Amino acid sequence: MVVSGGAGFIGSHLCEALLTRGMRVLALDNFITGSRDNLYPLAEHPDFEFRQANVNERIDVEDEVRFVLHFASPASPPQYDANPIHTLKVGTLGTMNMLGLARAKGATFLLASTSEVYGDPLVHPQPESYWGNVNPIGPRGCYDEAKRCAEAFAMAYHRAHGVDTRIIRIFNTHGPRMQVLDGRAVPNFMAQAIRGEPLTVYGDGSQTRSLCYVSDLVRGILAAIEKGDDQPVNLGNPEEVTVLELAQIIVRLSGSSSPIQFRPLPVDDPKQRRPDITRARKLLAWQPEVALEDGLSRTLEYFRRVVPGT
């Protein structure tokens, strides 16, 4: 197994799950957004190897490779705002290079795509057949369009070269190893609640999100590797919650007395986000198992340990 973005939040959990299943794993990361700390639980495993590498450049692997899993990319607005050109490159050049590796090795390729390919959706919930409502020149365009292009690359290699490809569209996911400064709602709210600071809600908080716990997502990824086909499949939790409700739940779970503070809504921030997982249920026999508050409680326990100054 080759996993790009292996030092990232989701990538490191995926590497751990693959090792538990008895597979040899080579993780690649350049630490633009990944963390060495995420690799500590894996470092001493005899079947784990790490290589600091930029997948926007050619990647060569001498050993046999059965699967190439492409998870490298900044994934939150502050991350891709800070690295817009790299974000575009890793979704295009990086995807091409990892597909090239899969083709050379006769390996199955899996692309970690995103719910952001749907943009600010006009269809709700979002099925895989929906083509999306994306602003290509807005501040989120570097990420959204890079992932859309990555999907096009995967299908082109599948059709032109016969590469066995998978595309998963990941919806909002949370859990241990998320960065405190990730910039998305769950890390922001938890860090603020733990510090006793006001929770920052953008807009009026009526926009919705659907939150999946990371262990459920990893099960879905493994199912896609084993049972998936070449067409995209949504992986996420169809339980929908408003951003304001999410903030209130986190305040309650943390026992915080933090107030809620409203600020203007960022440009192109999606108003609704909820996956239609009918296809995942049928194709992969997969659906989330961890309830919203249970998952948030587990993530909160992690943040209590890592938030500075607590």
Report, as residue numbers or ranges, the catalytic residues. 143
Phi first, then psi, for residue 234 (nearest 5°) are -75, 135
What is the 8-class DSSP label of residue 8? S
Contact 246, 209 (CB under 8 A): yes
Taking Cα atoms as reference points, which of 25, 233, 201 lies closest to residue 117? 233
Give Cα separations from 170 to 34, 186, 234 (angstroms).
18, 16, 6
Rounded to whole angstroms, the Cα distance separating 75 from 57 reads 20
What is the 8-class DSSP label of residue 197? P
Taking Cα atoms as reference points, which of 1, 48, 11, 52 lies closest to residue 29? 52
Contact 296, 174 (CB under 8 A): yes
